[in-house]
A and B are shown apart, each in its own frame.
Chain A
Amino acid sequence: METSGSHALRGADIIAAIKASGIATVVALPDIVTSDGLLWPIARDPALRLIRVCKEDEGVSICAGLAFAGTRSLLLMQHTGFLDSINAIRAIAVEYEFGLCVIVGLQGMEPDREPPQSGKYGVRIIEPLLEVMDIDHARLTVRGDEARISSAFARARSENRPFVFLVTRPPE
């Protein structure tokens, strides 16, 4: 299923949804899926503070520290960064019950497939891993999917459970 034109995700819409959820701080490591449509616009947006990290698990902890200090934040990374951060997410977000808000780009995701059917092992295992970790998640694939962001992140915070959005197509 290819998405383009009027059906394609738009980075501006995702950023608007992020802001609507009260987030003004983004902690990120670059990901090619979200680079042009999300991370570069975020970097240029004076209303958002971007914290560039060296490794994604740093971001999990920075977001937690910010939350204890009363500041909402978003962790933006590639699925490989999610895989690398599993221990931090396990401890800090799941066991310590922190409503971590995450957007993950599925790098290498084929446009004509669903993530569980991806030929890329690293992509194919992401949703099953989220399931086994009991982490709520949803896909950002087509325009309109971003409408779920604000409510999902609000629930993450109120229920102290992490929520992960998976970006399956590069946003325009």
Chain B
Amino acid sequence: MMPRDECLKLLARHHTDEIVVPVYQAAFEWRTIKPDSLIYLGVGAMGQASSHALGLALGRPDKRVIVLDGDGSLLMNLGSLVTIAEVAPRNLVHFVCENGTYEANGGHPIPGAGRISFAGFARAAGYRTVHEFSELAAFGERIGAVLKEEGPVFVVLKVVAGATYPQDFAAVHSAELRRQFAEALSRQ
């Protein structure tokens, strides 16, 4: 298992101008680790990140889109795996941070924790490429190449909570940050 924030720090080393769609804890951590104008915080409802990302990827095929999903979140929208695989956007990289819990909602276990395979879900849905990492060294070694693969790419990160980051829910729901994202995207 990998501390999630350490994974995100490794990812940040390779992040350039991609749009990032993070959820919950990953959003709090990514905003601190890699502050950027192209962080999409308009997800709104739990589970919807992958679908927002699909819209962004289709609307801007010239930009790569990275989703930092949660396992509990993705379970709420498993059909999106099939929808994404059907549309097959080449510019979409879908990460799921699998910690087996609803971390932002009291730490309760997700159904099927430790038994279900998110990689298996993505393979069965038809993602072009699927990866699974549970060791930081392997992730750090491969992430640069993974980000360059033709999408849709699915990456399972087996994580545990890392360092503590401020849970800035006001920022996640900020109309001003959504406006800034739209402006930044329109300039690129």
Residues of A in contact with B (beta carbons under 8 Å apart): 25, 51-55, 57-71, 73, 87-88, 90-92, 95-98
B41 to chain A minimum Cβ distance, whole angstroms, is: 10
**Given A58-B51, A61-B51, CB of A92 within 8 Å of CB of B45:** yes
* CB <8 Å contact, B55 and A63: yes
* CB <8 Å contact, A61 and B43: yes
- A68's closest neighbor in chain B, by CB? B182
Residues on the B chain within 8 Å of A98, using CB: 42
* CB <8 Å contact, B82 and A54: yes
Bound-complex Cα distance A96 to B173 (A): 8
* CB <8 Å contact, A96 and B59: no
Q: Which single member of B44, B86, B182 contacts A52 (CB below 8 Å)?
A: B86
Between B45, B86, B173, the greatest number of chain A beta carbons within 10 A of the residue's beta carbon is seen for: B45
- A63's closest neighbor in chain B, by CB? B55
Check: B117 CB closer than 8 A to any chain A CB.
Answer: no
Check: B77 CB closer than 8 A to any chain A CB.
Answer: yes
- A90's closest neighbor in chain B, by CB? B45
* CB <8 Å contact, A91 and B45: yes
Interface SS majority for chain B: helix
Residues on the A chain within 8 Å of B54, using CB: 58, 61-62, 65
Residues on the B chain within 8 Å of A71, using CB: 55, 58-59
**Given A68-B40, A96-B44, CB of A52 within 8 Å of CB of B83:** yes
* CB <8 Å contact, A70 and B186: yes
B20 to chain A minimum Cβ distance, whole angstroms, is: 13
A126 to chain B minimum Cβ distance, whole angstroms, is: 20
Bound-complex Cα distance A21 to B114 (A): 48
Check: B185 CB closer than 8 A to any chain A CB.
Answer: yes
- B44's closest neighbor in chain A, by CB? A91
B64 to chain A minimum Cβ distance, whole angstroms, is: 13
* CB <8 Å contact, A65 and B52: yes
- A72's closest neighbor in chain B, by CB? B59
A64 to chain B minimum Cβ distance, whole angstroms, is: 6
Bound-complex Cα distance A97 to B175 (A): 9
